[in-house]
Amino acid sequence: MKALRLYILLLLPLCGWAQKKELIPEAIKIKRQYDLLGHEKRAVLSHVDYITAFPDNKTTFLWVFYPYELDQLYPDRHKYMQALHDISEPYPQKVIAKLVPIAKELQGNEDVVGELQVLLLELAVKNTDAFATEANKLKKAEQASLMAFLVHTDKEHDALPRALLQNLESTNAKLARIFAQAISDKEKNRDNE
């Protein structure tokens, strides 16, 4: 019996059952800033710090919120995205500037990726000039990739890309053409299915 217990104790770490995976530094930073938000709901500095702590690129975003092993901040990913959504109202330009570099590399609209997509679309519709400023900082291929990501929404949010296109047509013809092409490509792909 002792031998069996010893064998199980030695085997558990190899199977991963007894291991608790450490958070990566980026996840720790976001979690820490989120925890501070809970104590300082109205503190401007904690809002800006949360936006700053949020991932800067697709790879880090996925490592933190949608990792292969579904650990890190995955179990609470919706509350972290909701916090960013809440903060976005007083700081739309800062949040747009944070999300555009992530979104330019993303595809799909599942789960937390879809939440990021909808948040960026909502902000872009309400703050088209700020969105255009950030999108214009991208290379042409990155702009096309960003626009392709933004048009592939779920049916519930299908009106958002059209609203953004309308706004872009009156403020930024170049981006409007790229966005219109992305919408056209999406519709062609839908027709071919």
Q: How confident is the model at residue 2 (pLDDT cuts 50, 70, 90)?
A: low
pLDDT in tens, 11-31: 544 454 434 579 999 999 999
Residue carrying structure tokens 């047509």: 169
Of residues 20 and 112, more confidence is placed in 112
Residue carrying structure tokens 């299908």: 158
The pLDDT, as a whole number, for residue 139 is 97
Mean pLDDT of 138-160: 95
Q: Is 167 exposed, middle or buried (0-12, 13-18, 19+ CB in 10 A)?
A: buried
The pLDDT, as a whole number, for residue 192 is 72
Phi, psi of 23, rounded to the nearest 5 degrees? -75, 145
168 touches 136 (CB < 8 A): no
Does residue 126 surpass a pLDDT of 90?
Answer: yes
The pLDDT, as a whole number, for residue 44 is 79
pLDDT in tens, 64-98: 999 988 899 999 999 999 999 999 999 999 999 99
What's the N-to-C CA distance of the chain in angstroms?
61
Of residues 11 and 103, more confidence is placed in 103
Express as a percent the part of the chain with pLDDT over 70.
Answer: 87
DSSP notation for 1-48: -HHHHHHHHHHHHHHTSS--PPPPHHHHHHHHHHHHHHH-TT-HHHHH
Nearest CA to 144 among 188, 184, 89?
Answer: 184
Q: How confident is the model at residue 3 (pLDDT cuts 50, 70, 90)?
A: low
Q: How confident is the model at residue 159 (pLDDT cuts 50, 70, 90)?
A: very high
The pLDDT, as a whole number, for residue 87 is 93
Mean pLDDT of 110-136: 97
Which pTM value belongs to this model? 0.86
